[in-house]
Each structure stands twice: as C-alpha cells, then as structure tokens.
Chains A and B, each alone.
Chain A
Amino acid sequence: MISPSSPSGARRRALLFWAFFAAGAVVLALAPLALNNYWLRVLTTVFMYATVTQGLNVIVGLTGYHAFGNAVFFGFGAYACGVAMTLGAPFPVALVAAVAFSALVAGIVGWPILRLRGHYFAIATVALNLAAIQLVIQVGGVTGGAEGLPLPLSDLPPGPLYRAIYLVMLAGMVVSTLLVAFILIRPFGYALRAIRDGERAAGVMGIDTTATKVAAWAISAGITGFAGGVWAYWITFIEPASAFDPAIGVKAYMMLILGGMGTVIGPVLGAFVLEFLSTLVWGGFLQAHQIVFGVLIVVICLVAPNGMLVAGRSLIQRWRSRHGAA
C-alpha cells in the first residue's frame, strides 16, 4: 500500500487510459452521422462545458487559485470572435482572436491581481466578470453595446454547419484535455502543483511564482475563450448578459468538483454527467427542474466531495478489501 503501483503497472494503466480516450474521441467524432439534431445540440453543449471546465481546471485544479469569475473569458472570447467576424475576419481567424484576446486580458489583469492570495483573487475574478458586462455596454460601437451583437451568418446550410460546430467543440475538449495532460508531465506542471501545495516553499525552491501563475491563468483564459468564441458563432447573437452569464462559471465549477479537481479526465466526466443529468431532469420536471437539479447537486457534494474519480477509487478499494482480494 505504500508505493501506489509499480512503474510498469502505471505505464500499462496510462496506455489503457489513452486508448480509451482515443477510442472515445473517434466515436464522438463519427457520432454526428447517426445523431438527430436534439442530441447533436446536447453533445455540443457538453463539449463546450467540458472545455470551459478544463480551462477552470488549469487555474483552480492545478494551480490552486479559485477563480469564481473565470467564465468572464467565455464572454471575452465570444465578443472577440463576434467583433472580429463583424469586421470581416473568417471564423478560424476570429477564433484565434478569441483565444489570444482572452489570454492577453488574463495576462494583463493577472499581473497585479495574482499577487493576491486565497479569497482575494477569487473575489477579484468575480468583480472582473461584473466589470466586463459594464465595459461592453459602455464601449458600445463595434460591440453592439447593450443591444447585443448579431454575428455574420454562415454560407453553410444549418445541417452541415451544426455538425461542423459540433466537431470544433469536440476538438476544443480533446485538445484542452491533451494540453492539461501535457502540462502535468512538464516542469511547468510541477511548478503549478508546487504552488498549489505550498507557494512559499515553491518560491524559495526557485519557482517564479507570479510569472507561473500568470501563465497558468492565461492558458486557462485561452481555453475558456475558445469555447466562448465557438459558442458565439453557434448561437449567432450575443449580448453582455448571456455572454458574461455568471451561471456558466458556476456550472463549470460544479462539473470540476464532480469530476475531480486537478485530474486530466475529471472535467470531461463532470461535464458529461452533469449536463446529461440536467438535460434529463429538465425533460422530466418541466416546472421544477431547477429545484430537482439543485437537490441533486447537494447530494453529489455530500456523497462525493472530492469528485467521482476519488469516490469511485475508494469504492473499488472498499469492495476489494471486503472480498479479501490477495
């Protein structure tokens, strides 16, 4: 029980994990051939939330900095994409602009506020979210202000367009998950985890904590901005209240907690389970779905406060010890 497993066992499990991951990605990529529009939309939403949650995972799960208002970058991504397309940029270029602009904002804002520790940073991100709404309204002009911003329509007919958006969202989920896995095996990932577990010790051991945190937040923002950019193109009309909706961040937080903070696949699992659950509840309880959903969340937090992965692992261990395996 002391060392969790032999190196070869760990490698075998990692291989198995990535084989499953690749197979899952392929199945999901081929799924639009068989899915109707309803399920296409549900899955696109799942991928969107999985991407946002993976972005949140980088700053909250890996770095240990709670960012309650992280969905602000969803809004920045949406508006960067919308404005770029209004100015005539094609969608791929607008998407690059969404990622770059979100990361840039995080870099600039992060430099001063990531010197704050603990709750102060969390509160500052919430303030940033509220400020962003006012900013868009006040700037007006090319952002459309309070009236909202319609995006240029695509030349594609609706069917192929929604399938294309499905695939782009899927790519966002897959790439952000691979990125988190890659970060975790790099020195940068070790620096993030060191900051999470003991920032002072990390500093005196040679980690430039401020620069590392800012980089992590910029990556987090870039991932979140990507999801926002695709979302804007998908729904074709954005307004400050919906693009910067704090509920997006709250939902991503629940998915992160449910799936498991700081894990590679947790955010994806959390997004699938919670979004499907919410869809089912919504279908079953048209009047009271918010209440039923809320109660479900409370139950999940009580049963699996450290996420499904940890809860599942301890369940398996308990089962094994009860059945006296080896």
Chain B
Amino acid sequence: MALLEANDLEIRFGGVKALAGVSFRVEEGEVFGVIGPNGAGKTTLLNAISAVYKLNGGSIRFAGEDVTGLPPHRLSRLGIARTFQIVQPFKAMSVRENVAIGAMFGHARLRTRDAWLAAADAALERTGLAPKAAFMPPQLTLADRKRLEVARALAMGPRIILFDEVMAGLNHTEIERMIDLVKSLKQAGLTVVVIEHVMKAVLALCDRIMVLNFGAKLAEGVPDDVVSDPKVVEAYLGQRFAKAHSAAHAATVAGGVQ
C-alpha cells in the first residue's frame, strides 16, 4: 500500500498555476526523488503536502487516511515531518532545545520532559550534532544547520520525512555525509521524499524519481530511465549531463561484463 498518495494536487498563486494537477504515490520504505528546473513547483509541492499552503484542488491520503485540509500540526502528529530549504532554526534556543521542540509537539506519543530530551539526544546523535548540542543556531555552519533541520524532523518520530534541498550549498564532503545520513534513515525503515538539484545525491539515494516542469509531471520512474528520457534531458538535465551519465553508465556496465 502506498504510504503517501497525492491526487491531482493544484495550487494557484493568482492566475499562475504553481501546481497543475500533480499525482503520485510514495511506497512505504522507499526514497522518492522530486527533481526539475527552478520554478517547476518542487517546493510548492512540499508545501502543499505539509499544508503550509492550502490546496486549491486535489486530495492527499496518508497511511490510507484522507488528510486533505488538515492543518500542519495535525499532519506532523500523524507522522509527516519536513525540513526547510531555507533553514528556519529557532535562533534564541540551543540546538538541543530546537530538536526537543520536535519531540515535545510533533511526536504522537511522548509525554514527559525526560522522553522529549531522550528523543532529542537520539536525533542529535544520529545526525552527528551531539557535540554541538549546547550551541546556539547562529554559531553553526550551514551544513550543521541543515543537519539541525534533519534532527528536528527526526525527533518527531515520523513515518515519512520530506527533505527540501538538504544538499544545497554544501561542499563535496558534506554532501557525502548527508547522503550517508539519508541512507541510514532508509535502512531504519523510514520513507523519504527528497527534493534535490544535486544529481549525484539523487542517483545515489532514490528508488524512484518524479520530474516536475511548469507545475506538471514530466516523467516518473526508476532513476536510469528518467535521466535518459529525452524530455527530461531537454527540460532540465541538459545534453552534457546526459552524455556524461550514459558514458559513465556504459563504463560500469562494460566493467561488470569484464
């Protein structure tokens, strides 16, 4: 059964359709990627699912239940967590307190102060932020602030996490670490949706990919099929990426044969 099921999502800003009837399903336990050019509606899609924006049309089902129109805080307690592309730490609280907020309000079951702090510490440990628990957010590097977003989401004990460009602005080493982190979440049984421009990360992580363009679905499928789809190359990836990717692909296939 699909964990998350979106049907004909539509969001309008004035006369502009930012999302023009997008449907997709995310299966339990998979990593589902959403890619597309700037302005294609990726972040809008995430805002629609997490109810930051109100839908102008369409419906959303989560774990078999209709959750269309529920406010953000209700969704979070059902098990939907997200991060923000532009990080939004509570700047007057320590890193540990930031994460504890997720456990305090977003977790469906935790009721005591000790349980909140334990969940926060576990999330800090998992994201490698534990040594910086007493820091204030302005003292963190961008990579750590992205990790803080992930830790806050994890502390909510979610069933699905929606990542909005957690790799953006990171260097190669930091991207590798973030890829490892997302992989470990998948191994732990979490379902993950990633919005990402860093194709290296998308290819390394995703089981399936959906491509958005002008607020509509352009393609969907397993990564290799999608990145070699001429429509996707035309609209987003470009010929250089396609050539490099097919060359690398051919090399690995050839290497496998030998």
Tell whether, in the assembled complex, residue B135 and residue A204 are in contact, meaning their CB atoms are under 8 Å apart. Answer: no
Among candidates B106, B134, B135, B139, residue contacting A205 with C-beta atoms closer than 8 Å = B106
Distance from B98 Cβ to chain A, minimum over Cβ atoms (Å): 9
Which A residues touch B97, using CB under 8 A? Answer: 190
Tell whether, in the assembled complex, residue A207 and residue B105 are in contact, meaning their CB atoms are under 8 Å apart. Answer: yes
Distance from A175 Cβ to chain B, minimum over Cβ atoms (Å): 25
Distance from B109 Cβ to chain A, minimum over Cβ atoms (Å): 12
Number of interface residues of A (CB under 8 A): 22
Tell whether, in the assembled complex, residue A205 and residue B76 are in contact, meaning their CB atoms are under 8 Å apart. Answer: yes
Which B residues touch A208, using CB under 8 A? Answer: 71, 73
* Bound Cα distance A287, B105 (Å): 56
* Residues on B facing A (Cβ under 8 Å): 50, 52, 71-73, 75-77, 81-82, 84, 88-93, 97, 100-102, 104-107, 134-135, 139, 152, 156
Instruction: Judge whether A206 is part of the interface by a CB distance below 8 angstroms.
Output: yes
**B52 and chain A: residue at smallest CB distance:** A200
Most chain B CB atoms below 10 A, which of A2, A187, A197, A209 = A197
* Bound Cα distance A204, B88 (Å): 11
Distance from A195 Cβ to chain B, minimum over Cβ atoms (Å): 9
Query: Which residues of A179-212 have CB atoms within 8 Å of chain B's CB atoms?
Result: 187, 190-191, 193-194, 196-198, 200-209
Given A187-B104, A190-B97, A203 and B73 contact (CB-CB distance below 8 Å): yes
* Bound Cα distance A262, B93 (Å): 13
Tell whether, in the assembled complex, residue A204 and residue B89 are in contact, meaning their CB atoms are under 8 Å apart. Answer: no
Among candidates A3, A4, A205, A209, residue contacting B101 with C-beta atoms closer than 8 Å = A205
A-B contact pairs, 20 of them (CB 8 A): A3-B134, A4-B134, A190-B104, A197-B93, A201-B84, A201-B152, A203-B71, A204-B52, A204-B72, A204-B82, A205-B73, A205-B81, A205-B105, A205-B106, A205-B152, A205-B156, A206-B73, A207-B73, A207-B101, A208-B71
Tell whether, in the assembled complex, residue B90 and residue A198 are in contact, meaning their CB atoms are under 8 Å apart. Answer: yes
Tell whether, in the assembled complex, residue A187 and residue B134 are in contact, meaning their CB atoms are under 8 Å apart. Answer: no
Given A203-B72, A203-B73, A205-B105, A197 and B52 contact (CB-CB distance below 8 Å): no
Most chain A CB atoms below 10 A, which of B81, B84, B105, B107 = B105
* Bound Cα distance A324, B168 (Å): 42
Which A residues touch B90, using CB under 8 A? Answer: 193-194, 197-198, 201-202
Known: A187-B105, A193-B93. 10 other contacts (CB 8 A): A4-B134, A193-B90, A194-B90, A200-B84, A201-B84, A201-B88, A204-B72, A205-B105, A205-B106, A206-B156
* Bound Cα distance A104, B76 (Å): 30
**B87 and chain A: residue at smallest CB distance:** A201
Q: Closest 7 interchain pairs by CB?
A: A206-B106, A206-B105, A3-B134, A197-B90, A203-B72, A201-B88, A206-B76
Which A residues touch B84, using CB under 8 A? Answer: 200-201
* Bound Cα distance A187, B90 (Å): 14
Among candidates B92, B104, B107, B139, residue contacting A197 with C-beta atoms closer than 8 Å = B92
Given A2-B134, A2-B139, A200-B52, A206 and B89 contact (CB-CB distance below 8 Å): no
Distance from A311 Cβ to chain B, minimum over Cβ atoms (Å): 18
Distance from A313 Cβ to chain B, minimum over Cβ atoms (Å): 15
* Bound Cα distance A108, B139 (Å): 41
Which B residues touch A4, using CB under 8 A? Answer: 134
**B97 and chain A: residue at smallest CB distance:** A190
Given A200-B88, A201-B88, A191 and B81 contact (CB-CB distance below 8 Å): no
